[in-house]
Amino acid sequence: EQINKGKYEHYMQKEIHEQPESLTTTMRGRLKRGGSTKAKTVLLGGLKDHIKSIRRSRRIVFIGCGTSYNAALAARPIIEELSGVPVTMEIASDLVDRQGPIYREDTAVFVSQSGETADTLLALEYALENGALCVGITNTVGSAIARNTHCGIHLNAGCEIGVASTKAYTSQIVVMAMLALAIGDDAISSQARREAIIDGLFDLPNKVREVLKLDQEMKELAKLLIAEQSLLVFGRGYNFATALEGALKVKEVSLMHSEGMLAGEMKHGPLALVDENLPIIVIATRDACFSKQQSVIQQLHARKGRLIVVCSKGDAAAVCPGGSSSCRVIEVPQVEDCLQPVVNIIPLQLLAYHLTVLRGYNVDQPRNLAKSVTTQ
């Protein structure tokens, strides 16, 4: 299955570009279009006997490492909104280190592309011992996490070979958005919102196809950044995760120091780093946090920050306080707010890819890293 590179030079490049198809297979058979009398719904076969228990749980805890953790962070707001259940986040190793509280009334969701990550597996053992309902979200049928959880959802994103996870990340977000829809399925008050998200999911592969056209533009940006020492990425709300994941992609493959930060924390420290040399990416697509991001950009601009802004199509003037000479703008198609992280990460994946190739490093097998870390 799909293990040759086809027309691409690297697996990472192939996996970035096949996201319209991997997202389509992730959603296949799971979204119901509805009809004149029937509502649009989501059907997750692997959860059907457990969805009521998840809905009734006191808390949902997401547990994962690396990119899988970031995907859960991207989905957290929509799960909270549609389920009304409090959601907490745990990095698997940290949960185990702290022996943090996990209860019988909790639903613990284990997110792992490989389904074999040692830290996540240990956290699973711990949650099982504590009596939580354990749900697995993996891309590998028959993996340890798929086998040992009570129920789960497969990503069906196809085999991912590049060590840096790309298509699995976007499929994970989509699966967790579908999980939010399934948990919230009984609430009449949010039906219109749920239907808008389902429409957004149907259209998502087209929007991803559109955003992939930024490939050449991201290559040009990579040329400008090739010799930099460091890169910051600011996001908030749905796109805090995009900041963390974008920075993780850049550092793991291009070996450039890069940090993703919560924009709301900018004034509590990171602002000290800002000068005319350090490149800063700000994610400022349209959602409830947009005006706050506009003010972050203004503050960075006032300190002569070197800005690269990811914004919604047509918003260049709204995000660039000093006109186009003051910042570089990357325009992406707008989608439902909770799906926007799927679109927004793609230019950053492309940037990480091109930076790595231009710097002459191994993009599919970065130094010191493994696709699946099966030791502690």
Secondary structure of 146-206 in the HEC alphabet?
Answer: HHHCCEEEECCCCCCCCCCCCHHHHHHHHHHHHHHHHHHHHCHHHHHHHHHHHHHHHHHHH
Q: In this chain, which of 13, 107, 112, 149 binds ligand G6P, going by CB under 6 A?
A: 112
Shortest CB 120 distance to ligand G6P, Å: 5
Q: Which residue, 132 or 168, has its beta carbon nearer to ligand G6P? A: 168
Q: Is the separation of the CB atoms in 74 and 241 below 8 Å?
A: yes
Amino acid 213 reads K
Q: How far apart are CA 35 and CA 19, in angstroms?
A: 28
Question: Would you call 1 helix, strand, or coil by DSSP?
Answer: coil
Tokens of 259: 């940090």
Q: Phi then psi for 229, rounded to 5 degrees?
A: -90, -30
The residue of the chain with the least Cβ separation from ligand G6P equals 66
Q: Which residue, 112 or 190, has its beta carbon nearer to ligand G6P? A: 112
Q: How far is CA 354 from the centre of its chain?
A: 20
Q: In this chain, which of 13, 26, 113, 349 binds ligand G6P, going by CB under 6 A?
A: 113
**Per CB under 6 A, 349 contacts ligand G6P:** no
Give residues with Cβ within 8 angstroms of 150, minimum separation 6: 50, 133, 134, 135
Q: In this chain, which of 186, 288, 369, 374 binds ligand G6P, going by CB under 6 A?
A: 369
Question: What count of other Cβ atoms lies within 10 Å of the Cβ of residue 97?
Answer: 10
Q: In this chain, which of 22, 114, 285, 293 binds ligand G6P, going by CB under 6 A?
A: 114
**Per CB under 6 A, 373 contacts ligand G6P:** yes
| CA neighbor of 61 nearest in space, from 51, 50, 76 | 76
Q: In this chain, which of 163, 222, 261, 345 binds ligand G6P, going by CB under 6 A?
A: 163
Q: In this chain, which of 22, 57, 107, 117 binds ligand G6P, going by CB under 6 A?
A: 117
Q: In this chain, which of 13, 26, 83, 120 binds ligand G6P, going by CB under 6 A?
A: 120
Fill in the DSSP letter of residue 275.
S
* Count of residues near ligand G6P by CB under 6 A: 16
Q: Which residue, 110 or 290, has its beta carbon nearer to ligand G6P? A: 110
Binding mask 35-74 for ligand G6P (x = CB under 6 A): ------------------------------xxxx------
Binding mask 67-106 for ligand G6P (x = CB under 6 A): xx--------------------------------------
The position carrying tokens 């293990």 is 3
**Can you give the binding site for ligand G6P, defined by CB under 6 A?**
65-68, 112-114, 117, 120, 163-165, 369, 371-373
